Amino acid sequence: MALRLSREDGAVALSDWELKPLMKPKRDELIGLFGVRSVIMGILNVTPDSFSDGGRFEARDAALAQAKKLAADGADVIDVGAESTRPGFTPVAEDVELARLKPILPALIEAVEKPISIDTSKAAVARYAISLGAAVVNDVWGLQKDPAMADTVAEGEAAVVIMHNRDGVDPNLDIIADMRRFFDHSLMLADKAGIPRPLIMLDPGIGFGKTKDQNLFVLRRLGQFLDYRLPLLIGISRKSLLGAMVGAEVESRLVATVAANLAAAAQGASIFRVHDVAEHVAAFKVFDAIQRA
């Protein structure tokens, strides 16, 4: 089994995971931050239809410039996505997702010193990104959508974000119990594939398959997931949940986003996926200093 990358893909021909050793130091540096301070994940969408920045970073030069800005602003890891998962999104085929990444990802991994995360639920896309040096797979379906995903992550020795998700919204659902069932199943898949626990993060999936009240309920009760002894990642940046609460359009939701992330940190979250990196780095310097005092 070998993945061959042509020069047109932005890399010379390589056997499976030949670039993996270059990824490991970045992966381990990122993992080493957990429990030391809050970790900031900068968002880079190379899509035409993401809710906040769709179409802005599809071009190679624009994507590279934004990745460098996120790194300069203090992002600890940069999360690259080529398929929008906003409410009402249109799923794209694997070849479309890869076509969006191939002009950008090889150059981005070479140009940016920070670890790169690939935001995908497709094993083939994850395999391509890991082969180039991506250190994290951020799967919004928690290893449960693509049967090959867990084995792909394990073979590539990448870290992984397991996010809770649902096909539909049920306001009568015990959302905490549903999330625990989901996480338990995902962690079983991870264990079976051989993904080490220190490489796993959990994401409650704010805005995915939940009502507004359920989202707020989960944020208030994040501490109920600390018994997994895994870092909790929060992705609430600029989301409509916040916009509805403060009456703000997408670009005016910074204060609401910072407030939500600080509240989540107070409940035990440690990784924050955000659009506005510099502002969150500053906010968490203060938060972490108070926590350590």
pLDDT of residue 23: 84
Query: String of b and e for 1-34 (b: at least 16 CB within 10 Å)?
Result: eebebeeebbbeebeebebbeebeebbeebbebb
pLDDT of residue 15: 45
Chain segment 229-241, per-residue pLDDT in tens: 999 999 999 998 9
127 in any annotated domain:
yes
- pLDDT band for position 248 (50/70/90)? confident
13 in any annotated domain:
no
Residue with tokens 């992330």: 261
Tell me how far apart the alpha carbons of residues 284 and 33 are, in angstroms, rounded to a whole number.
14
CA proximity to 27, closest of 98, 118, 100: 118
Chain segment 261-292, per-residue pLDDT in tens: 999 999 999 999 999 999 999 999 999 999 99
188 in any annotated domain:
yes
Q: What are phi and psi of 214, to 5 degrees?
A: -65, -40
Lowest mean pLDDT among 27-41, 46-60, 258-272: 46-60
- pLDDT band for position 21 (50/70/90)? low
Q: What is the CATH number of the domain that holds 73?
A: 3.20.20.20
- pLDDT band for position 143 (50/70/90)? very high
Instruction: Kindly tell me the burial class for residue 133, based on how many C-beta atoms sit within 10 Å of its own C-beta (0-12, 13-18, 19 or more).
Output: buried
The answer on pLDDT for 213 being more than 70 is yes
Give mean pLDDT, residues 51-68. 78
Structure tokens at 129: 């990104």
pLDDT of residue 231: 98
Number of domains in the chain: 1
pLDDT of residue 250: 81
Q: Please answer whether residues 96 and 127 qualify as being in contact, where contact means their C-beta atoms are separated by less than 8 angstroms.
A: no
List residues with catalytic annotation: 239, 273
Share of the chain above pLDDT 90, in %: 79
183 in any annotated domain:
yes
Strand residue runs (E) in 129-225:
136-139, 159-163, 200-203
Q: Which residues contact 289 (CB under 8 A, 6 or more apart)?
A: none
228 in any annotated domain:
yes
146 in any annotated domain:
yes
5 in any annotated domain:
no
3 in any annotated domain:
no
Instruction: Kindly tell me the burial class for residue 232, based on how many C-beta atoms sit within 10 Å of its own C-beta (0-12, 13-18, 19 or more).
Output: buried
Name the average pLDDT for the chain.
Answer: 89
Residue 208's domain spans which residues?
Answer: 19-292
Instruction: Kindly tell me the burial class for residue 61, based on how many C-beta atoms sit within 10 Å of its own C-beta (0-12, 13-18, 19 or more).
Output: exposed
The C-alpha angle with vertex 124 and arms to 26 and 61, in degrees rounded to 5, equals 60
